[in-house]
Amino acid sequence: MRTLYAVLFKQYMKITRNATKFTCWMMILLCISASQVLASNSDLQSKYVTIPVHYLTDRQMIGDTYGPRRRYAENCQHRMYYGTAFVTVPNSEHRAQSALPTSLGWQLTDHKPPRISPKEKIISEPDSISFAELSEQSEGPKSTRIFLGQLEKALDSDNPQLAIFVHGAADGFEDCLQDAAILAYSLKKPMVLYSWPSDPRWRGYFIDGSNSEYSQEHFNMFCRELLVLKERHPFKAIFVAHSMGNRLVVRALPILSGTHISSSCELISPDIDTDTFRHYVMNAKGSSDAKIRLYVSNRDKMLPLSQLLAGGYYRLGEPAEVSHLTERQLKMARYTYFERIDFTTMDTGFYGHKLPSELIGGMVNDDVPPAGFKLVAQNSVKANRFARFANRAEKFKTTAAGLQPEFCKCVVRNDVKHDLK
Q: Is the domain of 64 the same as that of 10?
A: no
Answer yes or no: are the C-beta atoms of 376 and 410 closer than 8 Å. yes
Which domain range does residue 23 map to? 1-45
Q: Classify residue 416 by burial, with Cβ atoms within 10 Å: 0-12, 13-18, 19+.
A: middle
**In this model, does residue 68 exceed pLDDT 50?**
yes
**Strand pairing report for 236-242 and 262-268:** parallel
Q: Is the domain of 364 the same as that of 327?
A: yes
- Please report which confidence band the pLDDT of residue 52 belongs to, taking 50, 70 and 90 as the band edges: very high
68 occurs within a structural domain: yes
Q: Is the domain of 226 the same as that of 194?
A: yes
Q: Is the domain of 65 the same as that of 34?
A: no
H/E segment holding residue 374: strand 373-377
* Percentage above 70 pLDDT, the chain: 78
Q: Is the domain of 37 the same as that of 56?
A: no
184 versus 127: which is more confidently predicted?
A: 184
Closest to 307 in 3D by CA, of 266, 274, 348: 274
Query: If you average pLDDT over residues 293-320, what whole number do you get?
Result: 90
- Please report which confidence band the pLDDT of residue 42 belongs to, taking 50, 70 and 90 as the band edges: very low
Distance CA 369, CA 341 (A): 10
381 versus 271: which is more confidently predicted?
A: 271
Query: If you average pLDDT over residues 93-103, what whole number do you get?
Result: 91
Q: Is the domain of 17 the same as that of 146?
A: no
Q: Report the DSSP beta bridge partners of residue 61.
A: 66
391 occurs within a structural domain: yes
Q: Is the domain of 162 the same as that of 192?
A: yes
Lowest mean pLDDT segment, chosen from 11-25, 191-205, 227-241? 11-25
363 occurs within a structural domain: yes
Q: Is the domain of 65 the same as that of 25?
A: no
- Please report which confidence band the pLDDT of residue 290 belongs to, taking 50, 70 and 90 as the band edges: confident
261 occurs within a structural domain: yes
- Please report which confidence band the pLDDT of residue 23 belongs to, taking 50, 70 and 90 as the band edges: low
Q: Classify residue 290 by burial, with Cβ atoms within 10 Å: 0-12, 13-18, 19+.
A: buried
Closest to 162 in 3D by CA, of 145, 144, 147: 147
419 occurs within a structural domain: no
420 occurs within a structural domain: no
Lowest mean pLDDT segment, chosen from 84-93, 195-204, 374-383, 411-420? 411-420
pLDDT score at 400: 63
Q: Is the domain of 231 the same as that of 141?
A: yes
pLDDT score at 95: 94
Q: Is the domain of 21 the same as that of 86?
A: no
Q: Is the domain of 241 the same as that of 324?
A: yes
Strand ranges for 258-402 from DSSP E: 262-268, 288-296, 335-342, 373-377, 381-382, 399-400
Strand ranges for 170-276 from DSSP E: 191-195, 236-242, 262-268
Closest to 313 in 3D by CA, of 396, 197, 382: 396
Q: Is the domain of 41 the same as that of 94?
A: no
Number of structural domains found in the chain: 2
421 occurs within a structural domain: no
Distance CA 190, CA 199 (A): 26
H/E segment holding residue 358: helix 357-366
418 occurs within a structural domain: no
